[in-house]
Structure formats: structure tokens, C-alpha cells
């Protein structure tokens, strides 16, 4: 059973206007508002989860690099190999050398800002096996 609310408004020219306000329409409007609020909350939750997931991934990557004996430093004098950006490419350097013994043909624009910054600073590893793992981590 539907109820209809009648509202009479008197206009300037003595004519009566009748406005019908359907109670059912008000309920639908409230339902839509609730649905919209739920969708907004779900969207915010999804965005938050993506941000948290990205942060955790970055944190795990840093911990993994630290566990493998990888350090991030500007100087390459402590270990055997350094990977860093040189002349717009990724270069592999041996300890104490300022000239890369190999340049990797990889697209730098696909790297995250964090990875690009780390490569600009230079990533130093202790041996060739660690260097191969580092290359695979970054470019595979």
C-alpha cells in the first residue's frame, strides 16, 4: 500500500498547485545514497590496500637485498661489483673502475623512482653471483 503526501501551494494568481511527493521515491533515494556511500568506502579501501601492498613490496625488496649482501652506496670501493646508471644506460663496474665493463640495454623508463634513485647512487655487491641476482631482480 503506497501513501501519497499532498502538498498545496498557493501561487500569485490564486491558482492552486498540487505537488505529489511519493514516499516510495524518498526510500529509493535513501537506498541510492547508502549504495553510493558503500561504493565510496569500497573504493577508498581498495586504494588503501594498493598503497599498503606497494609499500610492503618495497620493504620486502629492501630486506631481500640486504639479506643477499647488497648495499646502496655512492662509492664502489667496498665490494667487487657495482651496478649504476651511466650515460643513460645501466653499467656494470668492477671494484675501483670508473669505466663500465658492460652496459645493459634495458629501458630505464620502466623503473620505479626508488629503483632509479638506487641505480643512480650505485648498488654494490660482493661477488658476480650476487650481481647476477641483482640484475634478475631489477630487469626480469
Per-residue pLDDT, 17: 45
pLDDT band for position 67 (cuts 50, 70, 90): low
Is 80 exceeded by the pLDDT of residue 45?
yes
DSSP label of 112: -
Task: Summarize pLDDT for 32-42 with one digit per residue, the tens.
Answer: 888 888 888 88
Full DSSP string of 42-93? HHHHHHHHHHHHHHHHHHHHHHHHHHTT-EE-S---SSSEEEEEETTEEEEE
> pLDDT higher for 7 or 138?
138
pLDDT at 28: 77
50: pLDDT strictly greater than 80: yes
What's the pLDDT at 82? 92
State the pLDDT at residue 68.
58
Task: Report the chain's mean pLDDT, rounded to a whole number.
Answer: 76
- Percent of the chain whose predicted confidence (pLDDT) is above 70: 69
Amino acid at each position: 500500500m503506497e501513501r501519497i503526501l499532498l502538498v498545496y501551494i498557493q501561487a500569485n494568481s490564486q491558482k492552486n498547485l498540487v505537488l505529489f511527493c511519493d514516499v516510495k521515491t524518498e526510500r529509493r533515494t535513501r537506498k541510492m545514497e547508502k549504495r553510493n556511500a558503500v561504493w565510496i568506502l569500497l573504493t577508498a579501501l581498495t586504494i588503501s590496500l594498493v598503497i599498503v601492498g606497494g609499500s610492503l613490496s618495497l620493504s620486502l625488496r629492501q630486506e631481500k637485498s640486504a639479506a643477499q649482501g647488497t648495499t646502496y652506496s655512492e662509492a664502489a670501493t667496498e665490494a667487487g661489483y657495482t651496478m649504476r646508471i651511466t650515460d643513460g644506460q645501466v653499467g656494470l663496474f668492477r671494484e675501483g673502475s670508473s669505466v663500465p665493463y658492460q652496459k645493459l640495454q634495458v629501458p630505464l623508463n620502466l623503473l620505479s623512482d626508488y629503483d632509479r634513485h638506487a641505480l643512480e647512487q650505485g648498488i654494490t655487491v660482493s661477488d658476480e653471483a650476487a650481481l647476477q641476482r641483482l640484475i634478475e631482480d631489477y630487469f626480469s
